[in-house]
Amino acid sequence: MKKLAPWQIALCVAALVASVAFPLVVKGTFPNHVMIMVFLFAMMGVAWNIMGGYAAMFSFGNVAFFGIGAYTSTVLLMNYNVNPWIGLVAGGLLAAAAAAAIGYPCSNIRSHYFSIATIAFAEIVRIQFNNWKFVAAAEGLSLPILPEGFRNFMFHSTKIPYYYIILALLALSLVVCWYISVTRMGYYLRAIKESHELAKGMGISFVRYRLYAIMISAFITAMAGTFYAQYILYIDPESVLILPISVQCVLVTMLGGAGSIWGPVIGAAILLPISEVTRVWLGAKGTGIDMMIYGALIMLISAYQPQGVWGYITSIGRRTK
């Protein structure tokens, strides 16, 4: 990776200070909720970026990992009284295992075929959960209300602790993504993205590195799922296993700039406020306007600005040099 320019470092520090200070300055539930959604989807975008942005495995099925994370921690908590923090890790591990199970046979499948395979996988998972009595099928699960506190990963009187938890999880994901990008794995994923032949010729086992990328991505996405369950306290297949969530992961990354560390964060910071605010303004659910805007955005970005916002900024930076 190129070294960060001073203005980039300044920007990072400013962003970090601003995010830490935000809930102290801005009071009110709704702004905090919007920011939590921004961080949540930024985190899922970062996860998607590891496989999609770096290794060109365009998944439309990451929601399966999100759902696995949400369901694992919730079922462990409800049925076995396992602490959600342990559930967070357990969900991540289970999702990574599922990713390995699906990713290994998929490791030779490229581009479109891979994308469709991910949708097929996510749909199978959704159908299974929709009919699975053990997880209350389509009825969904309401989490038991525990005394609030960090230990129980549950807060009822204020959303601010959730805010800092998801900020910390996002920061963790960013560190993981950054670490990958500056070490061997990042180089190898970019080589694989360029060409499988080239990668093989340079001694890179693309099966192995693609698998690593999918598993790490699944782990992070599942952690986001557990967070979502603990935050909303109710999950059902229609809220944690549907295609639009997968699409959102792709979209925030693409809008911000795929293959760059900050891309997903920028994308989420632009997109989620739009979608949350339109949802509140337009009130009624199911008008389709927010999704329509999404669709139009995807079309227009891919047709006219496929490098995303970050790509646009850096291209300006390069031109003015």
- For 182, half-sphere exposure in the C-beta direction (CA atoms, 13 angstrom radius) is 9
Q: In this complex, which beta carbon is closest to other proteins, that of residue 188 or of residue 227?
A: 188
The smaller minimum CB distance to other proteins, of residues 144 and 201, is found at 201
**Smallest distance from the beta carbon of 298 to other proteins, in angstroms?**
3
Smaller CB distance to other proteins: residue 230 or 248? 248
**Which is nearer to other proteins, 157 or 197 (by Cβ)?**
197
**Minimum distance between the CB of residue 91 and other proteins, rounded to whole angstroms?**
22
The residue (of 23 and 308) whose beta carbon lies closer to other proteins is: 308
In the chain, the largest separation of any two C-alpha atoms, in whole Å, equals 61
CB of 135 to other proteins, least distance (A): 14
As a three-state string, the secondary structure of the chain is: CCCCCHHHHHHHHHHHHHHHHHHHHCCCHHHHHHHHHHHHHHHHHHHHHHHHHHCCCCCCCCHHHHHHHHHHHHHHHHHHCCCHHHHHHHHHHHHHHHHHHHHHHHCCCCHHHHHHHHHHHHHHHHHHHHCCHHHCHHHCEECCCCCCECCCCECCCCCHHHHHHHHHHHHHHHHHHHHHHHCHHHHHHHHHHHCHHHHHHCCCCHHHHHHHHHHHHHHHHHHHHHHHHHHHCEECHHHHCCHHHHHHHHHHHHHHCCCCCCHHHHHHHHHHHHHHHHHHHHCCCCCCHHHHHHHHHHHHHHHHCCCHHHHHHHHHHHHHC
